[in-house]
Amino acid sequence: MALFRQLWTCSLYGLCLAELIFSDGDARVESGIIYLIIVVLLLRSASREYSDSLSLMIVIVSIFLFAFPSAAITFLLRIDVLPALFAFVLFSDLLLLSRRLLEVPRNNPRIPISRSSHRNDFHLLITLLTWCAIGGVVFDAAGFFGLLLFLAPYGASLVLLDRLVAQHPSKRYAAFLVALFLIVVFLYTQFQWGGFGRLVIGGFVLAPVLVANARIDLGIRPIYFIIFAPLALYVAQKSRYGAVEGISEMFIGSAGHHLQVTHDVLQRDIEWISDGLGTFISQYLLLFLNWVPRELWPEKPIGVGLWSVDTMYGRERMGDEYSQSIGFLGEQYFYLGDLFWVGLFVVLVTLACLRTAVSRASYGSVAPVVIFDVNLSSFFWGGCASFGSRFWFMVVPALFICWLFHRRSLAAST
């Protein structure tokens, strides 16, 4: 399989570079080569066998946010999206490479837990999941505060899931624990969720699955996501709007909107904003500080997804709170123009170092790294601010729980 994957990778890069160098946008749309490129991308994904959380998330993002939407946009809207597709392939491959270069190789250790500790961890897990299910209802919290009441305990509960599966590596036991998480997510969507942020809900579903899969092979393979992608896109669109009226809504909809906006950004050979570097820096800070309440930081930059609507299209016929997914490539081109590659490189290095730092601060737990990986979908869809808006609320509680367990193990060993 590794040989086939290398073959598909060489073919993928060769086709993309040839099209980008020797054809313009209109010619690329008419030639239909992008469909072959998408097929090669899917074949490369399908050739993977067991994959860690980062590899699986890259595959999932490539399928749901790039491959299927790119094919639909090209066929139905006659829009050239190859630059964004190739940027994703290159960026994600470099991120995977950085994982191999920066992280210290380690095996999957069996976390030593006594029987009483195992029971206590299970009880704490049930307590946290119960709070996730009813916290927003008890406090009658909606919007962001209601989401926060879910995010923090959910992130912490993933650490407990990791400990329990590591101590008792049984597929049946892991499936039982993951089912508890999925029930909680279902209850959250029924009684607290407002319909926005389907990528976030997808992350809630994937996180426990990937945590358990990191400890024991659950048989999850990328090809399964390819097979069930159309059904999943249909369900996602229907859950938001109540109906799916056509193929365009199903395969493009919100999943492909970032590709359309990125195309619009790349099409116009103008400087969108006067202070591109300053704007890049302010939005880059939101990757780390978007969690800070505006009451404590009145000058906090507004996310580009909101104000880029006014700059690009105007606010007429759109609500005051309407925002758009500008995409990770569109975001950098929007700020820096032809120097977009500098911004992408800075963000790539930042994400690679941040993931490594999270891994090393986890004291052997895989949960915080999985939290990072599942939030990458928000980055590729909406940029730095989207990633920073929820990631920290999940990972900080998770890292804190990891530190507490580490301190407890040190105290027990002395």
Residue-level pLDDT at 352: 96
Among the residues of 76-221, which ranges form H helices?
82-102, 115-138, 143-167, 171-191, 198-215
Residue 228 in any domain: the answer is yes
Q: For residue 402, how far is the Cα from the chain centroid?
A: 22
Is 399 a domain residue? Answer: no
**Model's pTM, two decimal places?**
0.92
Domain annotation covers residue 280: no
Identify whether 285 is part of a domain: no
> pLDDT tens-digit profile of 44-82?
988 888 789 999 999 999 999 999 999 999 998 899 999
Q: What is the pLDDT of residue 142?
A: 59
pLDDT confidence bin for 107, thresholds 50/70/90: very low
Q: Which two tokens stand for residue 69?
A: 């939407």
Please say if the pLDDT value at position 31 is more than 60: yes
Residues 263, 358: Cα–Cα separation, whole Å:
33
Q: Both tokens of residue 398? A: 């998770």
Q: What is the mean predicted confidence (pLDDT) over 204-210?
A: 95
pLDDT tens digits along 270-306? 666 777 888 899 999 999 999 888 888 888 888 888 8
Domain residues for 228?
Answer: 117-241
In the predicted model, is pLDDT for residue 251 greater than 60? yes
Angle between helices 367-374 and 340-360 in degrees, nearest 10: 160
Assess if residue 255 is contained within a domain.
Answer: no
Distances (CA, A) of 333 to 14, 60, 277: 24, 24, 11
Sign of the CA dihedral 79, 80, 83, 87?
positive
First-last CA distance in the chain: 48
Band (243; pLDDT cuts 50, 70, 90): low
Q: What is the DSSP string of 229-270?
A: HHHHHHHHHHHHHS---SHHHHHTHHHHHHHHHHHHHHHS-S
The rounded mean pLDDT for the chain is: 86
DSSP string across 87-116: HHHHHHHHHHHHHHHHSPP---------HH
Cα–Cα dist 266/109, whole Å = 47
Listed as own residue / partner, the contacts of 119-122 with beta carbons closer than 8 Å and 24 or more positions apart are: 121/160, 121/163, 121/164, 122/160, 122/164
The pLDDT > 90 percentage for the chain reads 48
Residue 106 located in a structural domain: no
The verdict on residue 220 lying in a domain is yes
SS3 state of residue 163: helix
Q: Could you tell me if 261 and 327 are in contact, meaning their C-beta atoms sit under 8 angstroms apart?
A: yes
Position 396 in a domain: no
Q: Report how many domains make up the chain.
A: 1
